[in-house]
Amino acid sequence: MFNWFRNRRRKMILRQPWSSSWESILKANVGHYKGLSTVEKNKLQAITRIITAEKHWEAHDGLEMSDEIKVTIAGTAALLLLGVNDFYFEHVNTIIVFPDPVRRQSQGGLIVGRESRHAGEAWQNGQVVLSWRDVVSDSRNPFDGRNLVIHEFAHCLDGLDGEMGGSLTFGDTATTQRWHRVCESEFETLVRATERRQKTLLDYYGATNQAEFFAVASETFFEKPRQLKEEHAELFELLAKYYRLDPGKWG
Ligand SMILES: [Zn+2]
């Protein structure tokens, strides 16, 4: 019954005309948007509207919640869902936004602690915490390999099996096993390169553990797809299977 009401409400949300101010927000703040095809843009708009409407949004420390914040975050998270249908991060219920990175104690969540600051967190209980400053600067630049929203929402996808541990489930056992093998070996390679301070395409933060490896690999997949395909072909291929899309085709 709940699904029936939810689907009916979604249909009503999508029946509203697309807002030109939301279009301007996507154009200004979601760097990937302009490279998408018309079909993909329409799908991203629909996902953005549903995520914006269905999540509980909170702003803290003097930040005021606005359409710009919601549409930028929802529109960036929507990139991860362009290859799938009828899924809108239902297990994420609250998005909490701070003006800047915050210092917090980790108690079971996954925290982005680059440069000893906490720009974002994703929690198994359905909360995502983000620094607005990092959201905007990362989302506006689609090619630098860093994207906080993609990072945190990749953790959320990873948590769908009940644990944010980097172990993904594919449609068939053989591919799931292949992911475990490739992820393990790519993770070990990144750990060794990080220890030697070698230059790597994947950010060193991915060497923290396998959950961070998947989140960082997702950032690279969406922001440097061609380089990832060239240098880590099997990892790219599996991520393209997982997300069911190829960001290398985006302009
Ligand atoms: Zn993380």
Count of CB atoms situated within 10 Å of the CB of 131: 23
Quick: pLDDT tens for 133-152. 999 999 999 999 999 999 99
Residue carrying structure tokens 């994947």? 202
How far is Cα 125 from Cα 233, in angstroms, rounded to an integer? 34
Cα 103 to middle of ligand 1, angstroms: 15
CA 87–ligand 1 middle distance (angstroms): 22
Q: Residue 233 C-alpha to ligand 1 middle, in angstroms? A: 23
The span from the CA of 139 to the CA of 143, in Å, is: 10
pLDDT confidence bin for 102, thresholds 50/70/90: confident
* Residues 105-130, mean pLDDT to the nearest whole number: 68
66 Cα: distance to centroid of ligand 1 (angstroms): 25
What's the average model confidence in pLDDT over 167-179?
94
The answer to whether the CB of 22 falls within 8 A of the CB of 73 is no
Q: Quick one: three-class SS letters along 106-143?
A: CCCCEEECHHHCCCEEECCCCEEEEEHHHHHHHHHCCC
CA 72 – ligand 1 centroid, Å: 19
Could you give all domains of the chain from N- to C-terminal order, each with its CATH number? 2-139 (1.10.472.150)
Contacts of 168 (CB under 8 A, 6+ apart): 157, 158, 161, 176, 179, 183, 214, 242
pLDDT confidence bin for 120, thresholds 50/70/90 = confident
What is the per-residue pLDDT across 8-67, written as a single tens digit (0 to 9) for each? 999 999 999 999 999 999 999 999 999 999 999 999 999 999 999 999 999 999 999 999
Average pLDDT over residues 111-131: 74
